[in-house]
Amino acid sequence: MEALHYILVLVSVLLLLYQLTVPKRVERKNKLPRPPSLPIIGHFLYIKMLFKLPLHEVLNDLCNKYGPLFLLHLGSRQVLVLSTRADIEECFSKNDIIFSNRPLLPSRKGLEYNFTGLGAPYGHHWRNLRRFFAVEVFSPKRLQMSSNIRTEEIRHMTKYLFKRSSQGVVTVELSSFLYMLDFNVIMKMVAGNRCFEENEIDTDRGRDKLAELKQWFSPFEPLALGDYFPFLRWLTRHGAEKKIHNKHKKRDAFLQAMLDGHQNLNKTPSVSSGGSQTDQSIIDVMLKLKEFEPQFYIDEVMKGNMAAMLIAGTHTTVLTMQAAILQLMSNPENLRKARDEIDKVVGQSRLLNEEDLPNLPFLHCIINETLRLDVVSTLPPRESSEDCSIGGYHIPHGTQLMVNIYSLHRDPELWTEPNKFMPERFQEIEKEKGGFKFVPFGFGRRICPGSTLANRLVALSLGTLIQCFEWEEAETDEKSQDVAKHKLMKMIFRPREALTHVLAQL
């Protein structure tokens, strides 16, 4: 009897806490479809499914049962899922500013420097950050200036592959190889120096360093229950939040040391880390701007910008290149077509460079088709700053938005044979790219600012590998058809006979 009494008290307290912490719900009048849920935890059990199934499969399953627009309750937060072109278009043409915030999860406050980086709420500070990136990093002039970095680093890795093949060792672990390449490129843009020297690639030392960088600059964090159940924060402070805090401490020390290195160099009158206009790193540019706007370019903001480049610029581009390579391995006629195109445009007496890229439409079709099928399954979450309406439903402020890109990019109403890898479809679709049909870089004010850099980096790296090497998958113990399981795939890159004289000069 006494036990029952305690249980009743506990349940009443939890229900009371739930009522106090849950924000105003979507109005019942015009009720949004939602899967059945449990009191307090809402739809959290679906998160458990994510340990077994990828996110797009869970969302697909829910779409089939409840329609393309539905609501999930994750503890005190509610998440609206959109999957069709019409709903996405309505949302972003009517409510773009309202959905221009990212959720401010308490567990990320330290990691995101009190939300002063690009995760900042939509407003004056965030606009200044975007302006900095648009003008000083991604403008056509700046991208032209940094083009020698990409060329140099891609040649550095090409030379490594060629050298290894002449020593008889031709197998590389694909994902690590691509991560090392991209960390080298982005780090050189950010700080002026590469992360991995030739003698570190494919060594234990190199792999340990890569594991550390991947962990510090991963876009994924452990799930902190306190973000969804505020009354449980005291508990998660010792679990997920502690892990996030430890990561922050290490990453912050690494970024601060890089920044200090440049600040100290700049203080020495005879030495300047600025270099010539063309090899100025992003840190150097920020330090220069700091002389005029010291209140804006504080250390936290500069470290946030450095982290944004390293997080957003590496993982996505590696995934794209890796997925494109896997698709081309399974579709050799497309690989042949891309190689013929490069041979025709570039010839066999020099290596591909960035100026050639606009003349390689089929290579871009391959990248676009890979982006359609394999890279982003949902957009990073947004959160509404005001009440609004979508599809005739009233959506209160504070609702998180999850855009189901996976379904949009495979909608049979929009794509013929949607699951098939058909790069040539982009020869036609190019013209209607803007119409909320193909959106691998997102949309609206929060659209990816790095898409041009991403396209150049992926096209030059992939194009160089296609131009210079014959590809083969190395024998491994485990074979799998699933792209995700190819994370540790080993590849053999054999220099093409016709290109050996060019490669030998690297």
Positions that interact with ligand HEM (CB under 6 A): 118, 186, 308-309, 312-313, 316-317, 320, 371, 375-376, 379-380, 440-443, 446-450, 453-454, 458
Closer residue to ligand HEM, CB minimum distance, 174 or 186: 186
Compute the distance between CA of residue 71 and CA of residue 81 in angstroms, rounded to an integer: 6
Closer residue to ligand HEM, CB minimum distance, 81 or 503: 81
**Minimum CB–partner distance for residue 144 and ligand HEM (Å):** 16
Compute the distance between CA of residue 205 and CA of residue 191 in angstroms, rounded to an integer: 21
**Minimum CB–partner distance for residue 366 and ligand HEM (Å):** 13
**Minimum CB–partner distance for residue 440 and ligand HEM (Å):** 5
> Residue 374 has which token pair?
């394999």
Are 120 and 159 within 8 A, CB to CB? Answer: no
**Tell me, what amino acid is at 128?**
N
Please list, in sequence order, all residues whose beta carbon lies within 8 angstroms of the beta carbon of residue 9, skipping any fewer than 6 positions away. none
**Minimum CB–partner distance for residue 260 and ligand HEM (Å):** 23
Are 386 and 100 within 8 A, CB to CB? Answer: no
Closer residue to ligand HEM, CB minimum distance, 146 or 467: 146
73 beta partners: 78
Place of tokens 């025709």: 344
**Minimum CB–partner distance for residue 182 and ligand HEM (Å):** 8
Number of residue whose CB is nearest ligand HEM: 442
**Minimum CB–partner distance for residue 118 and ligand HEM (Å):** 4
Compute the distance between CA of residue 297 and CA of residue 330 in angstroms, rounded to an integer: 48
> Residue 326 has which token pair?
């896997």
Return the CA Rg of the chain.
Answer: 25
Please list, in sequence order, all residues whose beta carbon lies within 8 angstroms of the beta carbon of residue 88, skipping any fewer than 6 positions away. 82, 403, 408, 436, 439, 443
**Minimum CB–partner distance for residue 376 and ligand HEM (Å):** 5
Place of tokens 């590469």: 194
**Minimum CB–partner distance for residue 439 and ligand HEM (Å):** 8
Q: Please, what is the angle between helix 332-346 and helix 299-330, to 10°? A: 110
Compute the distance between CA of residue 151 and CA of residue 352 in angstroms, rounded to an integer: 9
Closer residue to ligand HEM, CB minimum distance, 63 or 118: 118
Q: Please, what is the angle between helix 240-267 and helix 299-330, to 10°? A: 110
Which one, of 191, 222, 210, lies nearest residue 305 by Cα? 191
Name the 3-class secondary structure at 494.
Answer: strand
Closer residue to ligand HEM, CB minimum distance, 363 or 376: 376
Closer residue to ligand HEM, CB minimum distance, 226 or 450: 450
Compute the distance between CA of residue 275 and CA of residue 256 in angstroms, rounded to an integer: 21
Closer residue to ligand HEM, CB minimum distance, 201 or 310: 310
**Minimum CB–partner distance for residue 458 and ligand HEM (Å):** 6
Closer residue to ligand HEM, CB minimum distance, 105 or 186: 186
